[in-house]
Structure 1
């Protein structure tokens, strides 16, 4: 059976990780370690995707993702398609501030009850439903393409909804879902052309980052 594959990349280490700042829409750059990891990600994808295959690369516009996508695009010989919908969740006024600033003000969602529209107490922050709908819409664009090999360069939080959209989880049922993957990871989503079953073949793989 032939497989359609989508490779979801979470950008590697960036300045806000090192400086313990809130990411979100804060436009931090990759660190030197992150740049090296971006090249390793690109090499891994080049080895995974057969030469001569059609391939598309989609990316968040935030610098840390866009620079990762540029390395991947160079390795695959394609120009990344920038899509702002693949940005990380917006943390509003918390973006770029120390993580402890957010931690002191954050209102966690309730264990039961309304979670998707929950107000986290941070002015300007996206609710979970707004964030999820944005990623679901972006995934719809990716899936409308007939390309058999696609790469999405996004962020750790956005990964959850990229995966839940892939498995066709109704968005109203995504109030508890969480897929975790480290920075610089590759997750592989596949669909066969017979049953058209959708699989999460790999989640958060970082084997490409291992020291030689």
Structure 2
């Protein structure tokens, strides 16, 4: 019987674009003051966990979060662009209302969860849901293989975590996910070859109550 890897997949700390509900995608936005505090609290919470490796998206909001964890464990952060958020093309930097006004057809396809729709290009070319999902899952499975029976951490983005959640719940790409993912909440998965199982979801005990406003749960 093949042994599984426990993978903690954690969203980065808050950025100003998170706070104002603007899509970030590949845009390289930094943590804001609150996000730095969240990263420090997360790192403190994980300091007693026995970790074998720390992985991160190469975007600075994830990398800064990962670096705070690494300080407690004397481990390097392995940076991998495969863990970037989905590329949203022209949608990046815009709010939901701005997208709806400027790109009504693409906005409708987005909310209909069309897995093959590609948003208009912006500074970068956008990815479809399907293309992004395959990128995310392949990368998660790839980093898990060398760490059978051990525990690793991945600091990434909402979309990466949502992709793992979909696989764990056998959720089709055509179904729009409405699961909230708070900044720096801890999500534990068991990964073994092509299987991804959810162990525990959304541990946010390290966050102060005022860091979890009710309207934040009204995610895109």
- Name the TM-score class by shorter chain: 0.7 to 0.9
User: 2-side partners of 1:58 and 1:78: how far apart?
Assistant: 10
SS of 2:175's partner is: coil
**Displaced runs of 4+ in structure 1, greater than 6 A?**
none
Q: Structure 2 length normalisation: TM-score?
A: 0.77
Q: Please tell me whether residue 176 in structure 1 is matched to residue 178 in structure 2.
A: no
8 Å CA contact 2:188, 2:198 repeated in 1: yes
For the structure 1 residues 110 and 97, does the alpha-carbon distance in structure 2 shift closer, same or farther, using more than 3 Å as the test?
A: closer
User: 1-side partners of 2:45 and 2:71: how far apart?
Assistant: 13
Report how far residue 169 of structure 1 moved: 4.7
For the structure 1 residues 59 and 41, does the alpha-carbon distance in structure 2 shift closer, same or farther, using more than 3 Å as the test?
A: same
**Structural RMSD (CA):** 2.8
User: 2-side partners of 1:160 and 1:119: how far apart?
Assistant: 18
Aligned residues: 198
User: 2-side partners of 1:25 and 1:191: how far apart?
Assistant: 26
Q: Give matches, 1:136-155, under 5 Å.
A: 136-146=137-147, 148-155=150-157
Which residue matches 1:102?
99
Q: Please tell me whether residue 79 in structure 1 is matched to residue 76 in structure 2.
A: yes
8 Å CA contact 1:58, 1:80 repeated in 2: yes
Report how far residue 158 of structure 1 moved: 1.8
Q: Structure 1 length normalisation: TM-score?
A: 0.80
Where in structure 1 are there 5+ consecutive unaligned residues?
Answer: none
Which residue matches 1:162?
164
Mean alpha-carbon deviation: is it higher for 96-105 or for 24-33?
96-105
Where in structure 2 are there 5+ consecutive unaligned residues?
Answer: 210-220
SS of 1:78's partner is: coil
Mean alpha-carbon deviation: is it higher for 24-33 or for 2-11?
2-11
